Structure 1
Amino acid sequence: MAYSASYGADLVTITSQSEQDFLASEINEQHWIGLNDLETEGHWVWVNNQTLIETGLQLWHKRPSGQSEPVNWRVTDPSGENCAVKL
């Protein structure tokens, strides 16, 4: 999040399926969104402090393997991933 802010950018908070659909239609590459579990592992919170339960959205990307994001990827950080990516 600090990285984005250093460039004058904000991460998106997706609050509806229509917003998700719009972003998917406009952006055809992997990008960070404003969702993280930095404070508590597995408790995903938007940058506006809304939880996934509060927004009612589950927007995880399903891989062909059937596994969905976030996968807690540990290649660059042994503690696992903390920020969400929209593919």
Structure 2
Amino acid sequence: MDGVPKTVGRISWFEGEIITIDFGRSVEFDPKQYSELTRLGRWIDADDLSKFYLVKKPEAAFPDDTINQVLGRLNLNGYELIHSNATYA
């Protein structure tokens, strides 16, 4: 789970995929303010304002479309969506 913010205390094994929105710059954005984004899973508070982390719910089959729609409406362009599976010892 390299790259996950220090604010993460625990991620359940039921929450296997983490999606990172990486803007590469500081942006004013709070994903918890948008109901369509909160339905996708649990958002982790970031260490800074350039990356945002979603611990995806299993039933959120392909959240990229929803994320892209919300960010497009906000005119927040130039980001990368990074999918990664959490690993457990």
Calculate the TM-score normalised by the size of structure 1: 0.24
Give the structure-2-normalised TM-score. Answer: 0.24
- Relative CO higher for 1 or 2, CA cutoff 8 Å, sep ≥ 6? 2
